[in-house]
């Protein structure tokens, strides 16, 4: 073998085998040596916009998964808890100058005469800033909108078991304000117009009740409970630190004292006298609050529409059409156009309307009798207790 035969070709590293020629003529590298593989080509750079697009798509998908059920639930709640009147039509109509943005007008029955406003008073009447069905704020805003629209009459379309004392009183005050503005008010009682419902109706000019309506229940109630015996049985001793004997007078963990019972009963009596005065102010058959408090129904009983007519607590037995006819008569019009006022709820209002107004401030709430929607221990109510699940 010559020197030229033992040297690798020019440009090839020592120890590298030559791949040319037949296999028998290849020179294998010495033992323990290896060859360097050729370097990999650098990876191709992907466009930056592709990663941003993928991230954006993922975000949109996640937002759809999270928000779509909320919007569906909100739509269903608007249909369930919203105003009596069709929300879609309400949103499509314009609003009157000076009226709150949340109030919309709905034509319930076309007519060639002047307008009569129909305002719903439904469910448990409560004080709340939200605009769902039972809110006193919604009813008051609708009544104010009717005054601004200069309608010829107002019909209170009522189906309620009553509600909070102050909420009922605020609606009654606005009804009186409508009458002082020269707009007659007619109440149409449906299935129930009891306690706080009657409190509001007493402020109207005329009351139409179905003969089977449940009304009356003129009285005041303050719900509460005493779980002291159960706490003693399970060995729980509550500790309450107070500045005075009456500071925790409705404490659910112990029995009431005679002093507490006397004081709470005095609050009930004073509020009941206010209720009786409102009834006497609205009904000519009763001279003053004392006359109402001496009547048979002053024990808080529920009356049918027929019984209420006998006690002269309502003016007429009939239906909604009879209330419309009376409103046209008092408003001095014929073939009136009936309009309603729908409060357009915000999404937060809808979600808040899902929350029960019963607040559980004690660990025994799950084992105590359900008190019903919007009823809280320690509050005064004009409500028919027959409608509560004690």
Quick one: pLDDT at residue 306? 97
CB 343 within 8 Å of CB 83:
yes
> Of all residues in the chain, what percent carry a pLDDT higher than 90?
45
Burial 10-36 (b: 16+ CB within 10 A, else e): eeeeeeeeeeeeeeeeeeeeeeeeeee
Quick one: pLDDT at residue 241? 83
CB 87 within 8 Å of CB 78:
yes
Quick one: pLDDT at residue 44? 65
Quick one: pLDDT at residue 78? 54
The catalytic residue positions are 195, 247
Coil/strand/helix, residue 233: helix
Is residue 336's pLDDT more than 90?
Answer: yes
Label residue 255 exposed, middle or buried (CB < 10 Å: 0-12, 13-18, 19+): exposed
Average pLDDT for the chain: 78
pLDDT per residue over 138-181, tens digit each?
899 999 999 999 999 999 999 999 999 999 999 999 999 999 99
pLDDT per residue over 255-306, tens digit each?
888 898 899 999 999 999 999 999 999 999 999 999 999 999 999 999 999 9
Quick one: pLDDT at residue 345? 55
How many CA within 13 A on the CB side of residue 123? 19
CB 130 within 8 Å of CB 160:
no
CB 190 within 8 Å of CB 221:
no
Residue spans of the domains in the chain: they are: 76-359+370-387
Distance CA 156, CA 117 (A): 9
110: closest CA among 330, 319, 327, 339? Answer: 339
No. of helices (H) and no. of strands (E), the chain: 12, 11
Chain centroid offset of residue 181 CA: 30
pLDDT per residue over 91-103, tens digit each?
344 434 445 556 7
Question: Can you read off the two tokens belonging to residue 236?
Answer: 């729980």
* Strand 206-209 with 316-317, pairing: parallel
CATH class of 76-359+370-387: alpha beta
| Confidence (pTM) | 0.69
Cα→Cα distances 2→6, 7, 21, 26, Å: 7, 9, 19, 16
372: closest CA among 162, 159, 157, 76? Answer: 162
Quick one: pLDDT at residue 92? 40
CB 136 within 8 Å of CB 126:
yes
The residues near 257 (Cβ < 8 Å, ≥ 6 apart) are 245, 249
Coil/strand/helix, residue 262: helix
Quick one: pLDDT at residue 331? 96
pLDDT per residue over 270-283, tens digit each?
999 999 999 999 99
Quick one: pLDDT at residue 77? 56
| H or E stretch covering 65 | helix 48-81
The residues near 66 (Cβ < 8 Å, ≥ 6 apart) are none
Q: What is the full DSSP assignment across 292-321? A: HHTSGGGG--EEEHHHHHHTTSSSEE--HH
Distance CA 290, CA 111 (A): 45
Q: Is 22 or 205 the better-scoring residue by pLDDT? A: 205
Distance CA 117, CA 153 (A): 6
Q: Return left, alpha or beta for 324; rule: phi > 0 is left, psi -120 to 50 is alpha, else beta.
A: alpha
Beta strand segments in 210-301, E: 214-216
Quick one: pLDDT at residue 58? 86
Distance CA 230, CA 172 (A): 42
* Strand 337-343 with 103-109, pairing: antiparallel
Q: Residue written as tokens 């005041």?
A: 220
């Amino acid at each position: 073998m010559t020197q030229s035969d033992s040297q690798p070709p020019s440009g090839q590293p020592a120890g590298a085998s030559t791949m040319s020629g037949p296999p028998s003529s290849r020179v294998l590298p010495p033992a323990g040596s290896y060859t360097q593989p050729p370097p990999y080509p650098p990876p191709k750079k992907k466009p930056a916009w592709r990663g941003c697009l993928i991230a954006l798509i993922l975000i949109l998908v996640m937002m759809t998964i999270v928000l779509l059920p909320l919007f569906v639930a909100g739509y269903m709640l608007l249909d369930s808890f919203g105003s009596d009147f069709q929300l879609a039509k309400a949103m499509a109509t314009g609003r009157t100058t000076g009226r709150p943005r949340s109030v919309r007008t709905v034509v319930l029955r076309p007519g060639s005469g002047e307008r009569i406003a129909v305002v719903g008073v439904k469910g448990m009447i409560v004080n709340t800033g939200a605009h769902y069905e039972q809110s006193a704020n919604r009813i008051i805003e609708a009544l104010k909108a009717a005054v601004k629209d200069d309608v010829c009459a107002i019909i209170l379309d009522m189906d309620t078991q009553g509600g909070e004392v102050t909420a009922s009183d605020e609606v009654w005050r606005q009804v009186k304000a409508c009458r002082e503005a020269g707009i007659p008010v007619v109440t149409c009682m449906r299935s129930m117009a009891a306690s706080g419902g009657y409190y509001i109706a007493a402020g109207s000019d005329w009351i139409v009740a179905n003969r089977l309506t449940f009304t009356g229940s003129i009285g005041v109630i303050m719900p509460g409970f005493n779980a002291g015996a159960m706490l003693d049985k399970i060995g729980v001793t509550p500790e309450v630190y107070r500045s005075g004997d009456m500071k925790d007078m409705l404490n659910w963990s112990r029995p009431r004292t005679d002093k507490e019972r006397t004081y709470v009963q005095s609050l009930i009596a004073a509020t009941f006298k206010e209720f009786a005065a409102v009834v006497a102010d609205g009904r000519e058959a009763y001279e003053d609050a004392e006359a109402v408090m001496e009547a048979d129904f002053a024990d808080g009983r529920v009356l049918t529409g027929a019984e209420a007519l006998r006690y002269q607590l309502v003016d007429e037995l009939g239906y909604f059409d009879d209330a419309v006819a009376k409103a046209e008569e008092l408003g001095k019009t014929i073939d009136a156009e009936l309009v309603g006022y729908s409060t357009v709820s915000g999404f937060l209002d809808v979600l808040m309307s899902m929350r029960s107004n019963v607040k559980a401030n004690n660990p025994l709430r799950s084992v105590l009798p359900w008190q019903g929607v919007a009823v809280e221990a320690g509050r005064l109510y004009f409500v028919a207790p027959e409608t509560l699940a004690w």
